[in-house]
A and B are shown apart, each in its own frame.
Chain A
C-alpha cells in the first residue's frame, strides 16, 4: 500500500505548481482584463501586431500608436511573434478574434497567407488595418501606406539638390541590379532629372550596385569617387548602401566635399550625421505611421468612416486624411532626418 502514497502526492504537487504558475501570471498582468469588454459600450480596444517583437522600427510605431490611443481614450496592447513569419502571426490574429477586440492593426508578414485568419477576425466584427506591409486589398479594411514611390524619388532629389547647391555631378549607389523597388525609384529620379528645370544643372553620371552588401557597397563608393573626381553627391536609396557609403566617406578626404543622402535609419546614420559626413537623409517616421494607423482604426471602429474611397478622418496633430483607392491611406511625404531631429528617434 505505502508505495501508492507518493503517486497522489506527485499529482497534487504538479497541479499545485502549475496552477500557482498560472494564477501568478493571470494576476500579474494588468492588461488581461481589458479584452472582454470590447465593443460593449466601453472604450475602444485595439491590438497592435507588428511583424515581430523586439524590432526598434516597430517599437517606434507602437509608441506612436500608444500615444494616439491615449489621446483617443482607447486601449491598445502590443502582441507579436519573436520571428517575422506569417504562421506565427496567425495565432495572434485568432486570439484577437476570440477576444472580440474592436480593431487589429498589423504589419503583415505575408500578403496572402494571413487572409483566412483575418477574414475570421473580421467576421467577429474586428476592424483590420494594415500598416507598413499590406495584405491583399480585399483582405483588410484599410492600409496605412508609409510613402509612395513618387514621393520617395522626389524627396531624395530634393535633398541632394539642396546639399550640392543645385548643380554638379551625382551618382546613385543602389542595392541589387534587379531590386524592384530601387529600380522603380531610380527610373522616376531619372525622369524627374530630365524633366524638372530645377534640376537642369545636375547630371547623373553613374549608377552602381552594392547588392545590399556592406562590404561591396563600401568598395563601390570608393570606386565611384575614383572614377568621378568631380562628383558632388551620392544618392543611396537603400539603408545598407547609405550606411556603407557614409562609413567610407567619413574616413576619406572627400568627407564634407561629397554630399550623401538617400534612405537610411537613424540608428545606422546617427554617427555620420553627428560627425558631419551626412547632412540629411530620408525615410518615413514609423511613429507617425503607427499613430495614423491607430486614428484610422478608431475612426473605423467608431463608425465615423466605412473605409470607402473618399472618406476622411482627423488624426490628431497629423491633420486630416482621406482614404484613397483600394482602401489606402497615405501618410505623406518621406520624413527628413537631420542633426536637429535625429536625437528624437531610436530605430
Chain B
C-alpha cells in the first residue's frame, strides 16, 4: 500500500478512479465492448454463461489467493487440492455415498490440506514457496494415485445439473451465488476488518506487524486453511460441471489464478492489492480467452497474449515511474516534498 502524500491529498473520486485496479476494470470493459462489436457470436446468448462457468473456479480461488499474496506468501498447491477434492468426491460417490455427503468429505480434505500448508508455513516457519511446491506434488500424487488413469463419470443428474444451470431465466450460472457470498465475505475480511489490516501489515513488514499486535502466525494459518477449503469447493464445482472426477483435473490452474491476481494489481512482494482489481483481472483473462476462442485462435496464442499482458502490467508502472522521476520537476512542486515523491515513484 504505497500510498503517497499526493494520493491522500487528491479528491476522493480521483483516488478511486486513477488506480491500478480501475485501469484493469477499464481495460476489461474495453476488451468486452471491443469483442462484442468485432468478434462474431461474442454477443450471442451463450457467451456470458459459458464465460462465467469457465472462470468460476479461478474467481473462487482468487479470493483467498489475493489475501495470501498480500501477506507476501503464495499457495501453489490450490490446483492439486482441486484435483484431490475432485477425486475424493468421485470415489466416495462411487462407493454409494450421496453427493452432499461426499462433497462434505471432500471439503474436509481441502481443510486438512490447507491446515497442513498453514501449519508448516505459519508455525514451523518454512517458506510458502517451498512448502506449497511440495504439497502441489504431494496432493496431486495422492489424487492420481487414488484413481490412476481412470475417471469416475457417474454423478447424480440433479447435482450435476446444479453446476451447469443458470439462475432462473438469466444467463448467470448458479455457481455465481456461492461466489457472490464468498466475495462479500472476503471483501469484508480484507477491507473492513482488523484482520484484513493485519494482512496488509504482514505483507509490508511482518516483524513490525508482530510488534503492533498482529498475530502473524494465526493470520497466515487461517488464510491457508481458507485457501484449502475454497480450492476444494472449486474442485467439487469443477467435477460436477464437467461430470468427470480425474486425478489430473485442473492441472495448472494455480498459475492461472496467480496470473490473474498479479494482473489485478496485487504486488507479489506483498502489502498491496485490492479484491476488485483481482476479480477484474480474472474476468479480463476470461474475456480475452473466450473472444480468441471464438476467433479460432489457438491456445498457445491466447497464452502468449495473456503472458504479454501480465508482463506489461508488471513492467509499465515501473517504467512510467522511472521516466516520470527523470522528468524535470515543475517549479510549483514544493521543494521539501521531493524525497517523498521519489520514494513514492519507486514504489509504484
Contact = CB atoms under 8 A, between A and B. Distances in A.
Question: Real complex partners, A and B?
Answer: yes
Interface of A: 2-11, 13-15, 17-19, 21-22, 25-26, 29, 31-33, 35-36, 53, 77, 79, 81-83, 85-87, 90-92, 94-95, 97-100, 110-113, 115-116, 120, 124
Contacts of B50: 91, 94-95, 97-98
Interface string B4-24: 101100100010001110111
B85 interface: no
B133 interface: no
Contacts of B341: 3
A113 to B, nearest CB: 3
A123 B268 CA distance: 45
A223 B342 CA distance: 78
Interface string B241-265: 1111010111100000000000000
Contacts of B18: 4, 7-8, 11
A100 B43 CA distance: 12
Interface residues of B, number: 70
B218 interface: no
Contacts, number: 158
* Dominant SS among interface residues on chain B: helix
B296 A35 contact: yes
Contact of A99 (B40, B244, B299, B309): B40
Contacts of B153: 110-113
A49 to B, nearest CB: 11
A92 B204 CA distance: 43
Contacts of B288: 18, 22
Interface of B: 4, 6-7, 10, 14, 18-20, 22-24, 26-27, 30-31, 34-35, 38-42, 44, 46-47, 50, 54, 151, 153-154, 160, 164, 238, 241-244, 246, 248-251, 288, 290-301, 305, 308-309, 312-313, 316-317, 320-321, 324, 329-330, 333, 341, 344
* Dominant SS among interface residues on chain A: helix
B154 A81 contact: no
B330 to A, nearest CB: 6
Given A26-B38, A98-B44, A6 B324 contact: yes
A21 B309 contact: yes
Nearest to A33: B40
A65 to B, nearest CB: 15
Nearest to A85: B248
B238 A17 contact: no
B299 A81 contact: yes
13 contacts: A3-B6, A3-B7, A4-B18, A7-B23, A9-B320, A10-B23, A11-B26, A17-B312, A19-B30, A22-B305, A29-B297, A32-B296, A53-B299
